[in-house]
Chains A and B, each alone.
Chain A
Amino acid sequence: MTTIHNKQINAVNYEEPQTKSPPLLSVGPLAWIKNNLFGSLMDTILTVVGAIVIVSAVTAFFTWALAGANWFVIIFNMRQFLIGRFEPWAEWRVQLLALLVIAVLGWAVGAWSRISRGVFIFLLVITALLFVLPPVIRAVVPLSPSFVSAGETAIAYGSVAQQPLAQLGFIGREGEVITLRVAREYSQNDRALANSFSFVDSPLNTLRNAAENRLTIEARIPEIERLLAGDALTPNQRALLTADLERLEVPPPVTETYHLNEFPAQVRLLDGATMEPISEALLSGESEPLSVTLPRDGWYVLEKTVPDNPEAVTLIAAEGIYPMLERSFTRSASIGPDGETIAAGRVTQYIRMTDIFLVEGGRPRIEGTDVPFENIVENQYRGARPLHDYLSLYLAPFFQQINTGFLWLLIAGIIGYWGARLTDKYFSPVEKPRLRSQRIAFWLFIALPPVAFILVAGFGILPPTSPPLWGGLLLTMLLTVVGIVVSFPLGVALALGRRSSLPVVKGASIAYIELVRGVPLITVLLMAMVLVPFVAPWLGGPDTGPYRAMVAVTLFSAAYLAENVRGGLQSLPPGQEEAAKALGLSAWQATLFITLPQALRAVIPALVGQFISLFKDTSLVTIVGLMDLTDVAQTVVNQNEFLGLRREAFVFISIVYFVFSYVMAMVSRRIEESGSGAARRI
């Protein structure tokens, strides 16, 4: 008995039972990976395939974007992308409009939502980076030098023969340092030459191609021999490869053919205006680099020869000499920023690609001919671009281009946001703490479109601007906003008409809605372009393209909007209308104050969705010849200087479209989730 009793006492354990840690794959990140990525055999295969696809796609995109793409087309044409050819003297109006829009949006955020401290700090950090990064990049990772060749022999490869230029014009700023040295890094062998990168002149590019070709042939011959030795070839392939093998012949090394960098180069730097020499030196592989500080802004000329051997070519690495773009246009007389008159006439501008430094005219002439310069059409960046060149070539200028604007917009947004919050703090009643700011926001939104239109078009209050010059994002936005604002009352009227009990009104509404919804937008646009001039001659002039597009977009959008509003009206319980009538409200009062507000609130997500599709659909005006964002991209890449840069332009405008649509969709989702959009339950 006692033993049993003792045993029982011993069996009681007053300590916490020892807990085992859960199995490794049931909780924590490993379990997440197992369940979400490798749940079953099929899942594993999908994960592997998906990972391969995504990694290769992302790698390919970023390799292209960082090492291959020429983003200069965006940086240089930024103004076109944003506002098209809008008159420069009225540019401040668009800037003011942008500030107003952001301020009103900031006000709306303050009135209906809140910005967390994290988001605010994030925005400030972004702004700071936009300002700090460009000088830091410039200081830490200077741009690679451009490479020019000297010599008298023509460099032949394929059907191309390029002779190095004896004189090379370039533009420079006062105080800039030009450094010239012999590019020994590229003359060791053909591999070094083929792997060269940076801006190179045409003869050097020909050299690169020849070296690359030689290396390819050198590698190809053993490859063909290996293939012919095996049995993994069809008879057809075998015949082709045998013929190839007979044809192929390894040329002598390019570096030896042209005595690359074996002989010193004589260089001389001249002032472009006076043709007085500034500095000269004989550069050889061992000599010190020649550094020259430029005395003033303007043109300079670099003379380069290889005096000792007419067969030899010497490569010179030149810091501070970069490709340029030549633009000629006719300028009408105008008043400059300081009040001085700018004469009308034909102007030629030279713009340095690396930093958009601009010189007007003054191109030096020697013996009656213009001195050639490195043109960006031929002197593009060759070879795989290292990351530091991407940073200093594109990222720093891009940041510099947008940072001031970004800061102003941020300030406008903050002013709007705090305006709303302070209004609420001092003027809103306690029981409805956001009443005032929301009321004001409502009126601001009502007032914004007319103000925007006055700012852009003038409309008799400000000096008028020319509609055909509106373009880029401005035109896209303008069409969208007009489409939304004007089609709204029309759409609501059509929706009410369609639900009307009067057969004629109902029939007319249905006919209009179904007719418009049954045809593509492009036909409506075409009709507006072709037929509106017949019907409304005052809208028929050549200057009214954007207005006609607005008419089309509005008429089109109204039909879709009507269907959305009808959906909202149908979703209301009939009790609402019956109650309104029972209270003695007239049909108009019941609609305006009872059903319509609830219906509209219920369809906010659908309306936002429609606005997004309207925003995207405005791109169709490209087809009828208006200069919207899509059309600017098309036009820009058809210019001589930017031929073949379609990818860059389209990636850029896709990002712009995506950001705007996605933000709208996100706001819509927020409204939907917060529940304020749903019809109020009784």
Chain B
Amino acid sequence: MASSEQNFNTRNRIIPEFLRDIRVLQILGQIIFLIIVVAFLAQLVSVAANEMRANNLTPNFTFLQNRAGFEISESPQWYTSNSSYADALRVGIINTLRIVSTGLVTATVLGILVGIFLLSTNWLIRTISRVYVEILRNTPLLVQLFVWYYIVMFSLPQPQQAVTLPSEGVLFISLRLVLYAVAYVFISRSLRHLPTDAPRRLMFLTGFFAASLVMETAFYLYHNQADWAGVYGRGDLGAAAFLLYAGISAVLIGGAYFVPAPFRPYALGAAAGQLIGGLLFYMGIMPNAALRMELYPAVYLSIRGIVFPEILPTARFAEWLAFVVLGIVAAAMMWVYFRRVTETTGRLIPRTQYAVLLMIVLAAVGWLIVGAEPLPTAVPISGDDGIIFVPLEEALARDLLSPAEQLQYTSQPLVFLRPAQNRLGRFIVGTQFSPEYMALLLGLVIYTSAFIAEIVRAGIQAVSYGQIEAARAVGLTQGQTLSQVVLPQALRVIIPPLGNQYLNLAKNSSLAIAIAFADIFTTMTTVMNQSGQSVTGIIIIMIFYLIMSLSISFVMNIVNGRFQLVTR
């Protein structure tokens, strides 16, 4: 006892008093830690700098002004191989932002869709989406990118045989489809008062589907089989073949009474419906007319990427834009007004639908008004003997106008130009996206959508089922339950991890280098290889990604703050 006390005292005497104060110790510890960290970093920097100086590589940023000397396949017009490294960097940044912004939106939409499918009451859809999610989550994104690029994109056809949408051809819109639609609306309205599983209702609906199926089959055969040419509209009720058909139908209808009760309405409906359909066809009552429509390709998909129609503003675009802006402003004002009405009086007004409708109407009216302005009848053409005035139609027919002038003498505010190829298959008109861009976008979007789907599923499942039952109990519709009760609560759980996925997508876009898409990482790697400025290059890349990550976090934090529960 005594000796231990003495020990204690001796130790106390050796360590001065102020060093036994925890506050002093903490500060001292931190200073030592700081010194170690700083010394370590300084050591790193000095060793690296020495090493690089020995290799004639002093890190600096002035090299960015040097001539780049390499082409970038995916670049705006202003970039050439004579541009500077800084320009190459700019192109890389533009491309990264292009892919990330498109990717974020698309991945969110797809992810939410798959997330809802994961919760579907339909077993097949649930299973398919589960398999989709599991396969995508458990294989590396890099492998998926390789698959999209080297397997999917490379197996697309050459531009001359491009897959087109719609494919060129003639579409016949049958008059029958319209009649079916009318008939369906009529039948379902007249059965409205019956419960959904009432036998009569089931019978009529089955009959309707059976009749239309039989007629469509018969018309298909009539158009494609020579033997059926005489059947449509023959109307000879005494013919042996018809009597045989009627007899079989009678047996079927009679037989339907012996089918077990739950299936009886279906059997009866099907048997009677097919007879009615057959009669309508045989008697020629159902019309065989169709609207002929010629379809021309708008989207081309080939090994060179995807090409969309070009949308160009004409000289009248500004006038139309004024109408659109007016529509947006008016719609916004109306929306705010109706919201106030709803909040003060409790009257429910579908304000969003009205606002959208107003916008569309104003834009359409503007389009008509702008388009109705007459075009000049004659246009000035500068030829060898000064300016002459040529009638517009003639100038257009003889191809005297430059593309810019053509846009000036168009009555519509926007023109849609279908993609056009030259003889070598290169697209000279159209908005193009390279196969690298498509592969990267598809890879990123589909990979991220699997994770977003899981987040959405978890978020919706986190809303207690009592909430949904309560919403139903107070009489909200399915859509109102989803938009007013489930989503606001689910979003609270969804948004934080969703932000993480957005960050992942942005960072994963750097895998572009694997398939040589010219994003910031790929271009900077080329710049680094050419100039030898690897340290500076890496610093630039890191700063860019840090800024992008921080911006996304910042936006997501604001969004998150808006959706969190407001408490005291």
Cβ of A523 < 8 Å from any Cβ of B?
yes
Cβ < 8 Å to B, chain A residues 46-66: 46-47, 50-51, 53-54
A653's contact among B137, B143, B169, B261, by CB below 8 Å, is which?
Answer: B143
Chain B residue numbers with a CB within 8 Å of A612 are 138
Q: With both chains docked as a complex, state the minimum distance between the C-beta of B74 and any C-beta of chain A, in angstroms.
A: 19
Cβ of B134 < 8 Å from any Cβ of A?
yes
Contact call B534/A24, Cβ cutoff below 8 A:
no
Chain A residue numbers with a CB within 8 Å of B138 are 612, 616, 657-658, 661-662, 665
Contact call B123/A37, Cβ cutoff below 8 A:
yes
Cβ of A535 < 8 Å from any Cβ of B?
yes
Chain A residue numbers with a CB within 8 Å of B168 are 234, 236-237
Q: Which residue of A lies closest to B31 (CB)?
A: A504
Chain A residue numbers with a CB within 8 Å of B545 are 518-520, 523
Cα distance, A653 to B139, chains bound together (Å): 9
Q: For chain B, which range describes its interface: under 10, 10 to 19, 20 to 34, or 35 or more residues?
A: 35 or more
**A535 and B48 in contact, given A234-B170, A518-B549, A623-B513 (Cβ under 8 angstroms):** yes
Binds B, one of A80-88, A272-280, A525-533: A525-533
Smallest CB-CB A-B distances: 7 pairs:
A661-B138, A36-B123, A520-B507, A619-B140, A616-B140, A518-B549, A504-B30
Cβ < 8 Å to A, chain B residues 82-130: 120-125, 128
Contact call B546/A518, Cβ cutoff below 8 A:
yes
Cα distance, A534 to B535, chains bound together (Å): 10
Q: With both chains docked as a complex, state the minimum distance between the C-beta of B263 and any C-beta of chain A, in angstroms.
A: 8
**From DSSP, what is the main secondary structure of chain A's interface residues?**
helix
B48's contact among A47, A534, A657, A661, by CB below 8 Å, is which?
Answer: A534
Q: Which residue of B lies closest to A24 (CB)?
A: B262
Q: With both chains docked as a complex, state the minimum distance between the C-beta of B479 and any C-beta of chain A, in angstroms.
A: 14
Chain A residue numbers with a CB within 8 Å of B125 are 46-47, 50
Chain B 118-161: CB-based contact to A (< 8 A → 1; otherwise 0): 00111111001000001101111111001100110000000000
Contact call A616/B139, Cβ cutoff below 8 A:
yes
Cβ of A630 < 8 Å from any Cβ of B?
yes
Contact call B121/A534, Cβ cutoff below 8 A:
no
Contact call B513/A522, Cβ cutoff below 8 A:
yes
Cα distance, A523 to B540, chains bound together (Å): 11
Chain B residue numbers with a CB within 8 Å of A47 are 122, 124-125
Contact call B538/A520, Cβ cutoff below 8 A:
no
Q: With both chains docked as a complex, state the minimum distance between the C-beta of B414 and any C-beta of chain A, in angstroms.
A: 25
Cβ of B361 < 8 Å from any Cβ of A?
no
Q: With both chains docked as a complex, state the minimum distance between the C-beta of A676 and any C-beta of chain B, in angstroms.
A: 22
Cβ of A508 < 8 Å from any Cβ of B?
yes
Chain A residue numbers with a CB within 8 Å of B542 are 515, 519, 523, 527
Which of A533, A616, A665 neighbours the largest number of chain B CB atoms within 10 Å of its CB?
A616
Cα distance, A53 to B151, chains bound together (Å): 20
Count of chain A to chain B residue pairs whose CB atoms are closer than 8 Å in the complex: 167
Q: Which residue of B lies closest to A33 (CB)?
A: B123
**A503 and B134 in contact, given A46-B120, A520-B510, A622-B514 (Cβ under 8 angstroms):** no
Residues on B lying within 8 angstroms of A by beta carbon are 26, 29-31, 33-34, 37, 44, 47-48, 51-52, 120-125, 128, 134-135, 137-143, 146-147, 150-151, 168-170, 172, 260-263, 292, 294-296, 503, 507-508, 510-511, 513-514, 521, 525, 528, 534-535, 538, 541-542, 545-546, 549-550
Cα distance, A61 to B541, chains bound together (Å): 40
Cβ of A647 < 8 Å from any Cβ of B?
yes
Chain A 642-682: CB-based contact to B (< 8 A → 1; otherwise 0): 00001100100110011001100100000000000000000
Cβ of A143 < 8 Å from any Cβ of B?
no
Cα distance, A366 to B34, chains bound together (Å): 80
A657's contact among B124, B143, B295, by CB below 8 Å, is which?
Answer: B143
Chain B residue numbers with a CB within 8 Å of A633 are 143, 146
Chain A residue numbers with a CB within 8 Å of B51 are 533-535, 537
Cα distance, A559 to B457, chains bound together (Å): 28
Chain A 491-515: CB-based contact to B (< 8 A → 1; otherwise 0): 0000000000011110010000001
Contact call B294/A620, Cβ cutoff below 8 A:
no
Cα distance, A208 to B242, chains bound together (Å): 50
Can you list 25 A-B pairs with a CB-CB distance of less than 8 A? A24-B260, A24-B261, A35-B121, A43-B121, A46-B124, A46-B125, A50-B128, A53-B128, A54-B124, A505-B30, A518-B545, A519-B549, A521-B507, A523-B521, A531-B538, A533-B51, A535-B51, A616-B140, A623-B513, A650-B143, A650-B150, A650-B151, A654-B147, A658-B138, A662-B138
Q: Which residue of B lies closest to A616 (CB)?
A: B140
List 16 extra interface pairs beyond A518-B546, A519-B549, CB under 8 A.
A24-B260, A36-B121, A36-B123, A37-B124, A39-B121, A47-B124, A50-B125, A54-B124, A236-B168, A504-B31, A520-B545, A527-B542, A616-B140, A620-B142, A647-B151, A650-B147
**A534 and B124 in contact, given A234-B170, A617-B140 (Cβ under 8 angstroms):** no
Cβ < 8 Å to B, chain A residues 172-186: none
Contact call A623/B120, Cβ cutoff below 8 A:
no
Q: For chain A, which range describes its interface: under 10, 10 to 19, 20 to 34, or 35 or more residues?
A: 35 or more
Cα distance, A617 to B508, chains bound together (Å): 10
Cβ of A144 < 8 Å from any Cβ of B?
no
B140's contact among A25, A508, A535, A630, by CB below 8 Å, is which?
Answer: A630
Cβ < 8 Å to B, chain A residues 466-518: 502-505, 508, 515, 517-518
Cα distance, A534 to B511, chains bound together (Å): 25
Chain B residue numbers with a CB within 8 Å of A37 are 122-124
Q: With both chains docked as a complex, state the minimum distance between the C-beta of B128 and any C-beta of chain A, in angstroms.
A: 6
Contact call A233/B169, Cβ cutoff below 8 A:
yes
Q: With both chains docked as a complex, state the minimum distance between the C-beta of B378 and any C-beta of chain A, in angstroms.
A: 31
Residues on A lying within 8 angstroms of B by beta carbon are 23-25, 35-37, 39, 43, 46-47, 50-51, 53-54, 231-234, 236-237, 502-505, 508, 515, 517-523, 526-527, 530-531, 533-535, 537, 612, 616-617, 619-620, 622-623, 630, 633-634, 646-647, 650, 653-654, 657-658, 661-662, 665
Chain A residue numbers with a CB within 8 Å of B525 are 526
Chain A residue numbers with a CB within 8 Å of B514 are 622-623
Chain B residue numbers with a CB within 8 Å of A502 are 26, 29-30, 33
Chain A residue numbers with a CB within 8 Å of B147 are 650, 654
Q: Which residue of B lies closest to A41 (CB)?
A: B205
Contact call A657/B139, Cβ cutoff below 8 A:
yes
Q: Which residue of A lies closest to B54 (CB)?
A: A534
Chain B residue numbers with a CB within 8 Å of A630 are 140, 142-143, 146
Chain B residue numbers with a CB within 8 Å of A519 are 507, 541-542, 545-546, 549
Q: With both chains docked as a complex, state the minimum distance between the C-beta of B453 and any C-beta of chain A, in angstroms.
A: 15
Which of A232, A504, A534 neighbours the largest number of chain B CB atoms within 10 Å of its CB?
A534
Cα distance, A51 to B124, chains bound together (Å): 8
Cα distance, A537 to B26, chains bound together (Å): 36
Cα distance, A679 to B151, chains bound together (Å): 46
Cα distance, A433 to B295, chains bound together (Å): 76
Contact call A654/B139, Cβ cutoff below 8 A:
yes
Chain B residue numbers with a CB within 8 Å of A43 are 121-122
Chain B residue numbers with a CB within 8 Å of A650 are 143, 146-147, 150-151
Which of A505, A522, A620 neighbours the largest number of chain B CB atoms within 10 Å of its CB?
A522
Chain A residue numbers with a CB within 8 Å of B513 are 522, 623
A231's contact among B31, B48, B292, by CB below 8 Å, is which?
Answer: B292
Q: Which residue of A lies closest to B155 (CB)?
A: A647
**A646 and B151 in contact, given A233-B170, A503-B30, A515-B546 (Cβ under 8 angstroms):** yes
Q: Which residue of A lies closest to B129 (CB)?
A: A50
Chain A residue numbers with a CB within 8 Å of B521 are 520, 522-523
Q: With both chains docked as a complex, state the minimum distance between the C-beta of A529 and any C-beta of chain B, in angstroms.
A: 9
Cα distance, A657 to B146, chains bound together (Å): 14
Contact call A520/B508, Cβ cutoff below 8 A:
yes
Chain B residue numbers with a CB within 8 Å of A51 are 124
Contact call B44/A658, Cβ cutoff below 8 A:
no
A531's contact among B122, B535, B549, by CB below 8 Å, is which?
Answer: B535
Contact call A234/B128, Cβ cutoff below 8 A:
no
Contact call B37/A508, Cβ cutoff below 8 A:
yes
Chain A residue numbers with a CB within 8 Å of B140 are 616-617, 619, 630, 657
Q: Which residue of B lies closest to A34 (CB)?
A: B262
Chain A residue numbers with a CB within 8 Å of B546 are 515, 518-519
